[in-house]
Amino acid sequence: MTADGRTTSPPRLSAATFARAYFALQAVAGAAWWVAVFTVPLVREATLGDLDPIVMAALDVPLFVVASALAAVLPRRAAGWAGAAATAWTLAVTSVLGVYATVTTLAGAGVILMIAASVASVGAWLLLVLGRVPTEWLLIEPFAFRPARPRRTPVAHVIATTGQIVVFWGLFLAVFPVIIRALEDRWRLALPMPAGVAVAGAVIIVAASALGLWSAASITVKGDGTPLPSAMPNRLVVAGPYRLIRNPMAVAGIAQGVGVGLVLSSWIVVAYALAGSLVWNYAIRPHEEADLATAFGDEYRAYARDVRCWVPRLRPVR
């Protein structure tokens, strides 16, 4: 509180501060992991397989542990170079370890840990160097926001929407999950699932697919467009499930992914679906909503105030 009685807000931590904190944590975690590698055989076997820990430590300690520590404490320019070295090494190790685990069936747990470290390292380095994560880089074709061509016939929109559903559902709900499940088995990371999980997953897939199709039909019929960002509706759609929830297609897609993971008895596929929800919510959704606000103005802003993003209304809006 100031001298004149006004309440002051605590200072916000900068992006660089978060990045430095992450690299410090990564340095400590990396050092602790190497201690465990040399003292706990189970850790060494699960994360390195038959790889020589002495050779790996000779490379990893300076390029991962020390470089991460330097990224946490050096001045910004030097910290950026240290963070780049740590991030590049992390990505390289993840790639090599992934191939090694796939060929030998060893060190699967190490691959999962390195994938997580790679994603976090890239994000922290971007925060350190740019002060933000440039999520707009994800908005490439076919995910760049653009309205559908005007005066396109409803039949053309239906055909385009059907093609999108076939392609995207085929890739994200069939091809990718099957590959992930095969790698999960190959890396010896599969876990037993309780009886009935596959049935529950099938029920979720059916319900979520129905929601997705209902949402796509609403956009196609009422919006003069398609669900694909590069052919977005020309009219604001407040119909069908959009009267209850603002992003029914995202909800449907995430639920479908989880359902597929349960059907395949794959915890990694479930994690893949949940990770996708985080990417969509924090990287894609802000751009989508900004684009909708630009396109539809106060009409969209009023709709967004009345209808929540993730939690359905009990009563549909009119």
The least confident of 53-67, 78-92, 212-226, 274-288 is 212-226
For 175-194, write each residue's pLDDT tens digit.
999 999 999 999 999 999 88
Q: Which domain does 102 fall in, by range?
A: 15-133
The phi and psi torsions of 147 (rounded to 5 degrees) equal -70, 155
Average pLDDT taken over every residue of the chain: 91
Would the pLDDT of 6 be above 60? no
Same domain? For 127 and 160 the reply is no
Tokens of 114: 């390195």
What Cα–Cα distance (Å) separates residue 168 from each residue in 92, 162, 165, 213?
29, 10, 5, 13
For 146-167, write each residue's pLDDT tens digit.
887 765 677 777 888 888 888 8
For 228-285, write each residue's pLDDT tens digit.
887 788 889 999 999 999 999 999 999 999 999 999 999 999 999 999 999 999 999 9
Same domain? For 145 and 261 the reply is yes
Same domain? For 82 and 190 the reply is no
ω into residue 134 within 30 of 0, thus cis?
no
What is the spatial distance between Cα 114 and Cα 73, in angstroms, rounded to a whole number? 23
Would the pLDDT of 5 be above 70? no
Is-contact 114 89, C-beta < 8 A? Answer: no
For 17-38, write each residue's pLDDT tens digit.
999 999 999 999 999 999 999 9
Q: Is residue 201 part of a domain?
A: yes
Would the pLDDT of 141 be above 90? no
Neighbours of 108 (CB within 10 A): 25
Is-contact 2 8, C-beta < 8 A? Answer: yes
For 30-73, write each residue's pLDDT tens digit.
999 999 999 999 999 999 999 999 999 999 999 999 999 999 99
What Cα–Cα distance (Å) separates residue 151 from each residue in 66, 189, 216?
60, 52, 19
Same domain? For 257 and 172 the reply is yes
Q: Is residue 314 part of a domain?
A: no
When pLDDT is averaged across residues 292-311 and rounded to a whole number, the result is 93
Domain end position, chosen among 133, 163, 190: 133
Same domain? For 109 and 208 the reply is no
CATH of the domain at 191: 1.20.120.1630
Would the pLDDT of 10 be above 60? no
